[in-house]
Amino acid sequence: MTKTKLIFVGLAVALVGFLFAGSASAQDQTLTADPASVPEAGTYDITLTPDGFTAAGTNLAVCGTGDPDVEWGQATLMQHCGGFGSSQDATSGAFTVEGVEITDAGVTFIIFELVPDGQSALVQVNIGEAMDDDMLADTGVETSLLVIIGAGIALAGVMVFGLSRRLRTL
């Protein structure tokens, strides 16, 4: 195998590894609420502050649950929020949502784009004290995937090295 072919095979293996590795980009969008919690059920004016959004075409949904264990998706939006909410420019800074009915179940505010993998953030306002464990951004990829890709690249390197040594002995 010539050096050119070895370099080509090495670059192809590295490219495949990079394609499957994915990016480790953090969700830079955040949403904060003031007040972060309320003393009792009732109607409140909540000031929301979105940060890190670059797309102005976002929606605001006010959902009737503050349960942190809810998996948010399209079906959940329909169930708890009654739809996709109303248009809201997330790049314009803080704004106030007036007359929000907060029940014993709490409330969740979601700002999101109506595109796959679009920018989004949510904040929950519940009765009592604010939750201590803030939601962390989903970053990176699964470690097991990186191990498999690394092992594949190492195996390909060993194979190329073995083939090149075998050709020298012929």
92-112: average pLDDT: 87
48 domain residue, yes or no: yes
Query: Which residue range is the domain that position 95 belongs to?
Result: 30-127
80-95 confidence digits (pLDDT tens): 777 667 788 888 888 8
Q: How many domains does the chain have?
A: 1
116 domain residue, yes or no: yes
Tell me the residue length of the chain: 170
Q: Running DSSP on this structure, what letter comes out for residue 130? A: P
- Around 151, how many Cα atoms within 13 Å sit in the side-chain half-sphere? 6
68 domain residue, yes or no: yes
| Rounded percentage of the chain residues whose pLDDT exceeds 90 | 4
61-93: burial string, b at 16+ Cβ within 10 Å, e else: bbbebbeeeeebeeeebeebbeeebeebebeee
Name the average pLDDT for the chain: 76
Closest C-alpha to 72, from 37, 110, 41, 105 = 110
Is residue 25 predicted with pLDDT exceeding 50?
no
CATH number, domain at 122?
Answer: 2.60.40
pLDDT of the residue at 169:
58
89 domain residue, yes or no: yes
7-12: average pLDDT: 69
6 domain residue, yes or no: no
